[in-house]
Amino acid sequence: MTAPLRLGTRASALATAQSGQIAERVRELTGRAVELVEISTPGDRSHAPVAELGVGVFVSALRDALTAGDIDLAVHSFKDLPTAHPDGLVVAAIPLREDPRDALVTRDGRTLLDLPEGARIGTGAPRRVAQINALGRGFECVPIRGNVDTRINRVTGPSADLDAVVLARAGLSRLGRLGEIGETLDPMFMLPAPAQGALAVECRTADTTLVDELARLDDYQTRAVVTAERALLAALEAGCTAPIAALGEVAEDEDGSYELYLRGAVIQLDGRHAVRLSGTGTLPASTDPAEAAAAVGRALAATLREEGAESLLESVR
């Protein structure tokens, strides 16, 4: 009997939920048994703000386990991955992306712009803080860590001390908690993080059979937009905690090719200055879109730099 595939995951409810969903898809597509292996990461053990912990804090232990052969594959929230990829590992699949937008949870179902001046909003992401400050509504952004339950309890629990909290809509969807959202935030004023809502299924490059099997989970359009968003992030030489936002969309042309539309933004933390631009590019119809998509991301990053993004990034480095 073939041994079960060992799928590494963080131990949080969200991580195990999304890893469980991938495990089920792997079982369906390959007929192979899959067991979850919980792995603790430095980010899970620390209470420090994410911006202080550094890039890759939630993925390093999973990658170490993969390299050591303790697990066969790992599932990551793609936005947590460093843009530099380690030797010997490959993102074999990027499944269909969940809605990448941010979501607001409030006590009474209010929208963001319905909150009163001075409302306390929980978020530890500089990108979100910068865009909330840019609204000019006098909101107070409160650093917050913990799992989804912990964060929502800060708003709706018996000891609530916040008026609202901003979370990724994708995470709430995977946990079956969409009903708790007061508002899904319009990307026009809350552009998501690069790769938000997407998952990365990673394994060892040398496990060629598994690489081929996992590739069946891959979604063409998701790979294209996520590649473009992360190429922009890499070209700006900034980590996943920088105040950088990006969102790609793909539309099919009449000739069977695809058009990629990418929006990107770099925002000063106080919200007073921002550079927001967009770019487009054509993707091949029947081959891997990664190279063409990455070119769109790099080109937009270069234009952002030309328009002043570098000085905004220097102010927060």
Q: What is the spatial distance between Cα 222 and Cα 229, in angstroms, rounded to a whole number?
A: 11
User: Would you name the residues annotated as active-site residues?
Assistant: 80
In sequence order, the 6+-apart residues with CB closer than 8 A to the CB of 5 are: 26, 32, 33, 34, 35, 72, 73, 210
Residue 190: inside a domain: no
Residue 192: inside a domain: no
Shared domain for 316 and 251, answered yes or no, is yes
In sequence order, the 6+-apart residues with CB closer than 8 A to the CB of 72 are: 5, 6, 7, 66, 203, 204, 207, 210
Please give the C-alpha separations between residue 207 and each of 24, 66, 72, 214, in angstroms, as whole numbers. 20, 11, 9, 11
Shared domain for 269 and 314, answered yes or no, is yes
pLDDT at 165: 98
Q: Where are the beta strands (DSSP E) in 107-257?
A: 120-122, 140-142, 164-168, 183-184, 199-204, 244-252
Q: Please choose, from the candidates 24, 3, 2, 21, the residue with its C-alpha nearest in 3D space to the C-alpha of residue 13.
A: 21
Please give the C-alpha separations between residue 111 and each of 107, 116, 151, 167, in angstroms, as whole numbers. 11, 10, 18, 14
Could you count the other beta carbons within 10 Å of the beta carbon of residue 123? 22
Shared domain for 135 and 147, answered yes or no, is yes
Shared domain for 288 and 227, answered yes or no, is yes
Residue 107 φ/ψ, nearest 5 degrees? -65, -40
Q: Please choose, from the candidates 253, 255, 299, the residue with its C-alpha nearest in 3D space to the C-alpha of residue 278.
A: 299
Q: What is the spatial distance between Cα 169 and Cα 173, in angstroms, rounded to a whole number?
A: 6
Domain extent at residue 130: 102-184
Q: What is the spatial distance between Cα 163 and Cα 224, in angstroms, rounded to a whole number?
A: 37
Shared domain for 226 and 214, answered yes or no, is no
Look up the pTM and report it. 0.91
Q: What is the spatial distance between Cα 85 and Cα 79, in angstroms, rounded to a whole number?
A: 13
Please count the structural domains in the chain: 3
CB 163 within 8 A of CB 107: yes
Residue 189: inside a domain: no
Could you count the other beta carbons within 10 Å of the beta carbon of residue 253? 11
Q: What is the spatial distance between Cα 219 and Cα 139, in angstroms, rounded to a whole number?
A: 38
Full pLDDT tens readout for the chain, 317 residues:
578 999 999 999 999 999 999 999 999 998 999 999 999 865 544 444 444 444 456 799 999 999 999 999 999 999 999 998 899 999 999 999 999 999 999 988 899 999 999 999 999 899 999 999 999 999 999 999 889 999 999 999 999 999 999 999 999 999 999 999 999 999 999 999 999 999 999 999 999 999 999 999 999 999 999 999 999 999 998 766 789 999 999 998 877 789 999 999 999 999 999 999 999 999 987 778 899 999 999 999 999 999 999 888 887 76
| Length reported for the chain | 317
The CATH number assigned to the domain holding 301 equals: 3.30.160.40
